[in-house]
Structure 1
Amino acid sequence: MDNNILAALTPSPLFDGISAEALTAVLGCLQPKVCTYPKNNYIAVGGESFTGLGILLTGKATVIKENAAGSRIALTMLESGDIFGEMIAFSTIKNWPVSVVAQTECSVMFLPSVKIMGTCSNVCASHKQLITNMLAILSEKAILLNRKVEYLSIKGMREKISTYLLEQHRVSARKTFTLTLNRNDLADFLNVSRTALSRELGRMRDEGIIEFYRSSVKIKDLDMLKKVIE
């Protein structure tokens, strides 16, 4: 197995507790497929046949949900080592429920789900660890999806923005941080228009609550931001 691929896979939670040597053996059993995608191309298309559990080896991508009218909502951003398709990999669903778009040139490894949960032909000791990791990932994803439902239930524009910024502050443990979503993707994520988002961010800046420059945000009045969502 290519050393660059192993380096990209090692940090993934799917292979937590599995050494590089053992990982090579496990991948030999799984027989994954590696594909490369140019910038702005679809890695997976909602409605098309499911191709297996995906692991982003290099690049950045966005998971999006599109409707029949062509509008879309950005669900999450993917970076090297992140996985996608885990929620349907072991279900009866045969088609991708969402789309994945390459934000930069991407290299992706697809693992056949039937081989992840199946019996290892080489009786690999690490295969059991792989299954344990997969179950942990699915449990954590279910918790996050529950949080997503709560997030989408927030009605006010400022409340949505404040909740998002406070979450970013908690994750980074800093009052100044860089947003992982650009303005368009953030508007999609919050399910608001880009114009309305920019207007409200401007108002919050004018009121001295935040400062921002491109993707960088500084919280100037943390107490005021917290009061918005109380």
Structure 2
Amino acid sequence: MFKKWLKVFSQCDLFKGINPEELNLVFNCLKPKVSNYEKNDWVAVAGEKFTGLGVVLAGEVVVVKENAAGNRVIIAVNTPGEMFGEMAAFSGEGVWPVSVTARTACTVMFLPAGKIVGNCEMLCASHRLLVTNLLEIVSHKALMLHRKVEYLAIKSLRGKISTFLLENYKKMGKPTFLLPLKRNELADFLNVSRPSLSREMCRLRDEGVIDFHRESIKIREVNALRNMAE
């Protein structure tokens, strides 16, 4: 039943180095569950029982965290081949620390964490490689969360926006690119209000630092952004 997702699996870091035949053996051992969701459905809810590591097979999901006041902060937007839940899988809490919603209609595969690190019935090398890949992913995610803390530590809204735009500029390698987040999602990610974000973006445009149309951004003055990000 997993053959139609082979292209997605080849893009997923969790299955790096595992060929389709070996992957089939791993799935026979893990017995993952595949679920479909409509747009805006809850895929996972913070505080509810943990259901396993999620791998997005189709569509997109948004990973969010809410504070006691109900304010939402976006942790990540995951597309096919990306996963969520790996940081909570072995915490011992047994519940979701974050909520996950369907940004679009999507399909998600859940892998039981206990079976990933448990003894493999076939003692296969591909299962051991899966565990190694997972450790690398968790380490990378820890570094990403550290970066998120750095964003929260930036006091000025202009500094947060400049840092975000510079990081995407470096990632894309060109001054014109599409923002990976919608405006309201970017506001949640930066932990600022949507109106404040829009006003500051317009100021940067009026000053000739950037230009934008919907999700498309063009950086006109890279050095100016760098100065504001410091």
Query: Could you state the TM-score of these two structures normalised by the residue count of structure 2?
Result: 0.97
* 1:201 aligned residue: 201
The aligned residue for residue 180 of structure 2 is 180
In the other structure, the counterpart of 2:167 is 167
Per-residue deviation at 1:47?
0.8
Q: Deviations over 1:193-212 (max 9, x none)?
A: 10000000000000000000
The alpha-carbon deviation at position 71 of structure 1 amounts to 2.4
Which 5+ residue runs of structure 2 have no aligned equivalent?
Answer: none
Query: What is the distance in 1 between the residues matched to 2:7 and 2:124?
Result: 20
Map Cα deviations across residues 32-52 of structure 1 (whole Å, 9 max, x no partner). 011101100010001100000
Q: Deviations over 1:130-152 (max 9, x none)?
A: 01101111111111111211111
Note the 1:56-67 alignment, pairs <5 A: 56-67=56-67
| Structure 2 equivalent of residue 15 of structure 1 | 15
1:62 to partner: Cα distance: 0.5
d(CA) in 2 for partners of 1:159, 1:199: 14
Alignment of 1:27 with 2:11, yes or no, is no
CA separation in 2, counterparts of 1:71 and 1:4? Answer: 38
Structure 1 residue 90: Cα displacement: 1.1
The alpha carbon displacement at 1:5 in A equals 2.1
Count of residues in Structure 1 that have an aligned counterpart in Structure 2: 230
The amino acid of 2:86's aligned partner reads E
Q: Which amino acid aligns with 1:156?
A: S
- Asked whether 1:190 is paired with 2:190, we answer yes
Distance 1:71 1:223 in 2: 33
1:5 equivalent to 2:2? Answer: no
2:186 counterpart letter in structure 1: L
Aligned residue type for 2:152: L
**Aligned with 1:64: secondary structure?**
strand
Q: Percent identity?
A: 53
Deviations, residues 66-104 of structure 1 (Å, cap 9, x unaligned): 234432111110000110000010111111010001011
Aligned AA (1:10): S
Superposition pairs of residues 74-113 of structure 1, within 5 angstroms: 74-113=74-113
CA distance in structure 2 between the partners assigned to 1:154 and 1:139 by the alignment: 24
Q: What is the CA–CA distance in structure 2 between the aligned matches of 1:110 and 1:202, rounded to whole Å?
A: 42
Residue 124 of structure 1 and its aligned partner are, at CA, apart by: 1.7
CA distance in 1, matches of 2:140, 2:26: 23
Letter in 2 for 1:88: A
Structure 1 unaligned runs (5+)? none
State the distance in 2 between where 1:2 and 1:27 align. Answer: 9
Which stretch of the first structure deviates more once superposed, 142-151 or 96-105? Answer: 142-151
The range that moved more, 38-47 or 70-79, is 70-79
Looking at structure 1, the residues matched to 193 and 70 of structure 2 have their Cα atoms a distance apart, in angstroms, of 15
Question: What's the secondary structure of 2:11's corresponding residue?
Answer: coil
Distance 1:68 1:200 in 2: 27
Whole-angstrom CA distance in 1 between matches of 2:149 and 2:2: 40
Partner SS for 1:180? coil
**What does 1:215-226 correspond to in 2, within 5 Å?**
215-226=215-226
CA distance in 2 between partners of 1:150 and 1:195 (Å): 22
1:10 is paired with a residue of what secondary structure? helix
